[in-house]
Amino acid sequence: MEKYSRVYILSSESSLQSFTCYVCFWIEHHRWHPRAIYRARQIQKDAAAFGFDWPDISPVFDKLEEELAELKHAFSTGDSQAISDEIGDLMFVCINLARHARVNAEMSLRNTNQKFLRRFAYVQQQMSDAGIEMDQQQLEQMEHFWQESKSTVG
């Protein structure tokens, strides 16, 4: 397994197993907890108890678009603090969206992580089976397998 700036390139099934073990080890030992997600939801619930809440989900989508535009602007300026702030704002709105939809944001993110890992493993396997190196120059082929993975592994 080669490491390139926190991106791991897996070249075989044993590498995938090693990577999966590494991810499980990291999660277990770093004891990552959804503190920020839980806290954001709690803050929003507390504010809603005082009537400071959107009446329905529609304005939350508007706010999501507003925050995304602000994030794009922050990226255009290259201001890393503004980018960080806007990413936080965007995440806060996404958690608010989940709250309005009565969806557990933590579980949604965990499920998405698992879905990504399944799809990425599929891409790696297909690239390996085809004898194609996984690198930036093969992005189009990887994207093809990624789209294929959606109907194959979910």
Q: What is the pLDDT along the chain (154 residues), one digit of tens a residue?
A: 344 444 444 444 445 555 555 555 555 555 555 589 999 999 999 999 999 999 999 999 999 999 999 999 999 999 999 999 999 999 999 999 999 999 999 999 999 999 999 999 999 999 999 999 999 999 999 999 999 999 999 8
Which residue ranges make up each domain of the chain? 2-152
CB contact at 8 A, 47 and 40: no
**Structure tokens, 37:** 């997600």
Which stretches does DSSP call E strand in 1-154? 2-4, 7-9
Distance CA 118, CA 152 (A): 10
Phi and psi, residue 7, nearest 5°: -110, 125
> Which CATH number is 2-152 given?
1.10.287.1080
Looking up tokens 């590494």 gives: 22
Contacts of 115 (CB under 8 A, 6+ apart): 154
132, with CB counted inside 10 A (0-12, 13-18, 19+), is middle
Distance CA 114, CA 63 (A): 28
Neighbours of 47 (CB within 10 A): 12
